[in-house]
């Protein structure tokens, strides 16, 4: 795929990527068709409160129900959807669908819904409007929506990101920094970001030096008054560590795997 349209609209191709281009274009075409045919669906993974052990909310995770290949995970198609800008309409669909599901679940008590947002989506000038519209049309109370952004989404233009995060939080929603620790953001940027939570990447939780890595992340979160969630809890040892180090929330296969809405535990 062309990396960028040149000055006079001519697209320049990286020759080394030539063989990838055909496959990628085919995938792009399939993704576009999948979007119009409604082949995407959301799985949900519960988020647990560390001290009470109760489910406090869910994270929406997209899947592609491919007509011949079965369920395809986001790692395969999200990068292509980003490259082709399809992530914008796709992300809007995710936002609406996740908010709609959250309103169904919040009948008995308020649960949060976490939605992953890619950098390109976040950079859309009308992104705040898109979020407001999803809340309005589904009736989800803003306090129950959490947007998960990665460091890369805020790094390209930190000043613009800070301003937009303020606008988003003014809607009453919360912001979590996802995959925390794997990106390149600095301490000074972290200090400036108007966010509510850090999600510690599972590579840290599962690291041989997890005690140090998770400990530092929790210390940072405390210093900046942020809620902190440990991702990728797969063992009792990791759960005990998250608890001992003072994580607020936790997610992982040990506790619950992502699954369709009708398989979620009652909350």
Q: Which is nearer to ligand C2E, 105 or 122 (CB)?
A: 122
Residues 6 or more apart whose CB falls under 8 angstroms from that of 132 comprise 171
Nearest-angstrom CA–CA distance, 171 and 260: 28
CB 250 within 8 A of CB 50: yes
CB 150 within 8 A of CB 119: yes
- Euclidean distance between the first and the last CA atom of the chain, given in angstroms as a whole number: 45
| Single residue of 178, 204, 217, 238 touching Mg ion by CB under 5 A | 178
**CB of residue 223 vs ligand C2E: minimum separation in angstroms?**
23
Q: Which is nearer to ligand C2E, 40 or 105 (CB)?
A: 40
| C-alpha 264: how far from chain center | 19
| Single residue of 28, 97, 179, 248 touching Mg ion by CB under 5 A | 179
Residue 2 burial (CB count, 10 A) = 13
Interface residues toward ligand C2E, by CB under 6 A: 45, 60-62, 73-75, 78, 87, 91, 94, 116-118, 148, 178-179, 202, 231-234, 251-253, 258
Q: Which is nearer to Mg ion, 116 or 238 (CB)?
A: 116
| Single residue of 92, 116, 121, 138 touching Mg ion by CB under 5 A | 116
Interaction site with Mg ion (CB under 5 A): 116, 148, 178-179
């Amino acid at each position: 795929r062309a990396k960028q349209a040149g000055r006079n609209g001519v697209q320049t191709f990286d020759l080394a990527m030539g063989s990838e281009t055909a496959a990628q274009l085919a995938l792009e075409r399939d993704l576009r068709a999948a979007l119009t045919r409604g082949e995407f669906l959301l799985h949900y993974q519960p988020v647990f409160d560390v001290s009470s052990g109760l489910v406090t909310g869910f994270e929406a995770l997209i899947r592609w129900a491919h007509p011949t290949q079965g369920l395809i995970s986001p790692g395969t198609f999200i990068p292509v959807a980003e490259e082709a800008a399809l992530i914008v309409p796709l992300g809007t669909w995710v936002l609406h669908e996740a908010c709609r599901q959250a309103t169904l679940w919040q009948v008995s008590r308020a649960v949060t819904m976490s939605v992953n947002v890619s950098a390109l989506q976040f950079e859309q000038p009308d992104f705040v409007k898109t979020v407001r519209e999803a809340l309005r049309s589904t009736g989800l109370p803003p306090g129950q929506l959490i947007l998960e952004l990665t460091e890369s989404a805020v790094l390209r233009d930190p000043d613009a990101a800070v301003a937009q995060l303020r606008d988003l939080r003014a809607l009453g929603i919360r912001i979590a920094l996802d995959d925390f620790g794997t990106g390149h953001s600095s301490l000074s940027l972290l200090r400036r970001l108007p966010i509510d939570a850090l999600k510690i990447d599972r590579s840290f939780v599962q690291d041989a030096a997890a005690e140090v890595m998770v400990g530092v992340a929790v210390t940072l979160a405390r210093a900046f008054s942020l809620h902190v969630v440990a991702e990728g809890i797969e063992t009792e040892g990791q759960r005990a560590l998250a608890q001992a180090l003072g994580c607020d929330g936790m997610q992982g296969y040990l506790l619950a795997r992502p699954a369709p809405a009708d398989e979620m535990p009652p909350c």
